[in-house]
Every structure is written in C-alpha cells, then in structure tokens.
Structure 1
Amino acid sequence: MLSAAPTTPAEYWDKYKPYRGKGVQPRPAAGAFDWAGIPGHGPGAERLGSPTTALDLGPAEGENAAFLARSGVEVTAVDFSAVQVDRARRLWDGEPRLTFVHAEACAYLDANGPRFDAIYSTWGAVWFTDPEQLFPRVAARLAPGGVFGFSHREPVVGQYGAQRMGGKWLEGREADLTVLRWQYGPEQWADILKRHGFTAVHAEVLPNPDPAALGTLLVTSQA
C-alpha cells in the first residue's frame, strides 16, 4: 500500500487526480482530441497529420488516445503511474487499437520496438521530463516525416527550464517530494527541437477563454 505522502514522482502520479465522484468512474466521452484541457477550445488531432500509429506519452485517463483509436489509429499509451494505467485499462477495456503500457517514457523509448507515425503528449510526460534526455529518444522512434506534438500550460514569464511544482499541484506534500516540470516559451522550444534535429517546428500559445488565466503552449514538429 502507498504511504500517505508519496516520496517518488511515480508515487505522486499514482495519487494525482483521483476520481472523486460516487460509484464507478464513468468512461470519458473522448469525442474530440484536446490539446488544451478545455473542451471545444483550440485545434484537434489534425495537428498530428494522418498517422496510422501513434504513441501517447503520459495519457492519464486516455481520452485523447481513445479518440485516435476510434479514428482508426493504432495507439500505444505509456504512463509510469501504475494506478493511472490500471484505471485507463478499466475505462477503455475492449476498445480496439488501444494499448496502455506501464513504463517510464525514456525507458519505453529505449526498448526495441516499432517506430510511430506520431508521438504526442498533452500536459503529460514531455512537461515532466528533461528534453535533453527525452527528445533524442523521441526522434529515434519517430518514422521518417512523423509528427512530434506536445502541449503544456503557458509558462509565467521568466519561469523557464526545470521548475519545481508547488501549491495546489502537490496538495501540501512539498516537504516530502520534489516534482519538476520543464517549460519554455515558443521560441525556446523551437530552438531546442531544431537542435535535436526536428524540422517544420510550429510553436504557439493558445489563449485561455478566461482572460485572467494562462493559456496552453502547443508545439508540433517533424522528424
């Protein structure tokens, strides 16, 4: 059984965002591909091109992975939280073309396996993994011309690079655990991607419908 206060990043994600409703958690609708976490806001799966296969890094409940699978894409969704993988498998049990894997992103990419037409992460593993470690591995597992796309919260000006999570994200557990997220502005992400050999980089901030809230940074590129 997990301790009351997680002491590793994997344990933190095991406890993050539990279902707080009554009864069994219902299956999400998965009616659209969502980069921003705001239904009906921003672009959709068209930013990934027309993939036959896709890899989701950090799928959480798996709505985006399920949407692609229902669109005919063979999707592998990798998360290092055993709890979230188990939940996603239950939610999407019997969904064809969708496989959830319990693994850390870099370790999974290092393993021998197929190349993917698209690799993506929506507020997921790309946000929480050092790009100097992750991006070469992503490039090695993308098919020629494949699309690498990711999104995360728009960074506060000046808060770039590895930033410690705090406040409501850690729910009072800051003393027990440090969780880092890597965040940059559009030009910074473009420079990092190009340095790792990616081309056709498009990076933008999707404004939040609430003018008082931060938007979503969305980046796409090609192998």
Structure 2
Amino acid sequence: MTDTAIAWDTYSRLRPERRPVNARGETTWFNWTQYPDHGPGAELLHLPPGGRVLDLGCGKGGNAAHLASLGMRITGIDISAAQLRCAEERWGHLTGLKLHQAEAAGFLQSTAETFDAVYSVYGALWFTDPKLLLPAIHDRLCAGGRLVFSQRPPVEGCYGCQASYIPHGPGKDPLVVKRWDYQPEAWQHLLAEQGYTDVRATVLEAPPGTRRVGTLIVTAHT
C-alpha cells in the first residue's frame, strides 16, 4: 500500500458518514461545498439522460450515489480501500454505480471509456498535479463534455503544490499529502492551456451568518 493510500484510509476513519437524509428529507443529494445544504447541485454537470460520469476521488460515494439514483452511469474511483468499502456498504446496491480502487491519472490513462462529464469534489483535482491530470481528463471527455471540480480557495500567497496534514494518532507525526492550490484566474489559465473552453472559476461564499471560508468551483468544456 502506498503512503498516499494509507493517508486516505486514515482520513476515512476521521470523516463522518453522510447523513441519512438532508434538510429536504432526501436520501441522496449532490453537494459541491464543505457545508450541508449549501450551494448548487448536480445541474452543474449538464448531463444528458443516462449520461456517463466519472467521479475522481469519490470517497464514501454520496455524490456518485445521487447521480446513480437519477439514472446516470457513474464510475467512482478512489485510492482508499477504506473509503470504497464504506461506499459499497451503503450504495453498492444502486444500478449504474461502479466503484474502482485506483489513482486518478493512472485510471484515466488506462481506460478506453469516455465520459459526458468528469467531476471532483474536494477530490483528485485538488490532490494531483494538474499538468498531469488535466490532459488525461481531456482525453477521456466526449466532445462538448464537461469538467467540474470544487475545493477550498487558496490561502493568500500560498500557490502551487502545498502540503495537507492528516492526523495519525497521539504521539505520531501527521501523514502528509500534496495538494495544488491556485487562484481562480490561474485555474482558468491552466485549463485553457490544456484545450478546455468556456472556463469559469469562482468562489462561492460560505453560508450566511458564518465567517468561514468559501468554496472554489471551476467549470469547463472540451
């Protein structure tokens, strides 16, 4: 097992399970942000009926499960076996949902499948070198396909490859994974360089009444 997989298995134990229902009483839903019942939903993906979708870093599978419940053919990949076990236990019964343990760029480079949309919610787009991952995604998107991803906005002055720390227990050094932070305009430039069109990168403010950080949401077409 790689150090990265160990880190995300550890994170899985720290991450709470998705609630049984959301504020509207729904058993599945799509959430781009780190806050419950906040922000846009699956409509950002612009999917056709029965669309083929790839979730890069699906975690415990909540967003992928929602797309499967809408009749989409959704493939979720994650490097963490622990995350995928949780996803299988809760959502494995859903028709149209496939889960694979894989590293994002490696999966994209090895599959012949194409997708109507590829997305990442605080997932592989944040934790993989975009100069490696963006062209691999572009190659697997259908003509006119859509890439959408969300993550935390960068800390001012801290751009490019950064370190994220995952607690590993009392008396132990935290586990470290790399992430890539850029300002919205830098993401627009990176995506345009790789042939994406109609690129938009904006920061959605946190819910009213809070002083917490917002969510960077980036959308683009092939």
If the length of structure 1 is used for normalisation, what is the TM-score? 0.88
Q: Name the amino acid aligned to 1:9.
A: T
Structure 1 residues 201 and 20: CA distance shift in structure 2, 3 A? closer
Question: Is the Cα–Cα contact under 8 Å of residues 28 and 63 in structure 1 kept in the other structure?
Answer: no
Correspondence for 1:32 = 29
Correspondence for 2:159 = 160
Aligned residues: 213
Correspondence for 1:121 = 120
Matches within 5 A, 1:5-154: 8-18=3-13, 28-29=20-21, 30-51=27-48, 52-154=51-153
For residue 27 of structure 1, report the CA deviation from its aligned partner: 7.4
Question: Deviation digits for residues 106-129 of structure 1, max 9, x if unmatched?
Answer: 110011321000000000111000
2:191 pairs with one of 190, 193, 210: 193
Correspondence for 1:181 = 179
Q: Which runs of 5+ in 2 are unaligned?
A: 22-26
For residue 50 of structure 1, report the CA deviation from its aligned partner: 1.7
Aligned equivalents of 1:214 and 1:193: distance in 2?
24
* Percent of aligned pairs sharing the same letter: 43
For residue 32 of structure 1, report the CA deviation from its aligned partner: 2.0
Structure 1 residues 19 and 161: CA distance shift in structure 2, 3 A? closer
Aligned equivalents of 1:110 and 1:195: distance in 2?
19
Q: Which runs of 5+ in 1 are unaligned?
A: none
1:208 pairs with one of 192, 195, 206: 206
Question: Is the Cα–Cα contact under 8 Å of residues 208 and 215 in structure 1 kept in the other structure?
Answer: yes
Aligned equivalents of 1:92 and 1:211: distance in 2?
32
Q: Name the amino acid aligned to 2:35.
A: I
For residue 159 of structure 1, report the CA deviation from its aligned partner: 1.2
Q: Name the amino acid aligned to 1:193.
A: L
For residue 28 of structure 1, report the CA deviation from its aligned partner: 4.4
Aligned equivalents of 1:157 and 1:221: distance in 2?
24
Question: Is the Cα–Cα contact under 8 Å of residues 26 and 91 in structure 1 kept in the other structure?
Answer: no
Question: Is the Cα–Cα contact under 8 Å of residues 12 and 82 in structure 2 kept in the other structure?
Answer: no
Question: Is the Cα–Cα contact under 8 Å of residues 118 and 148 in structure 1 kept in the other structure?
Answer: yes
Decide which moves more: 98-107 or 172-181: 172-181
Aligned equivalents of 1:11 and 1:60: distance in 2?
14
Aligned equivalents of 1:123 and 1:154: distance in 2?
11
Q: What RMSD over aligned residues (CA atoms) do the two structures have, in Å?
A: 2.2
Q: Name the amino acid aligned to 2:191.
A: L
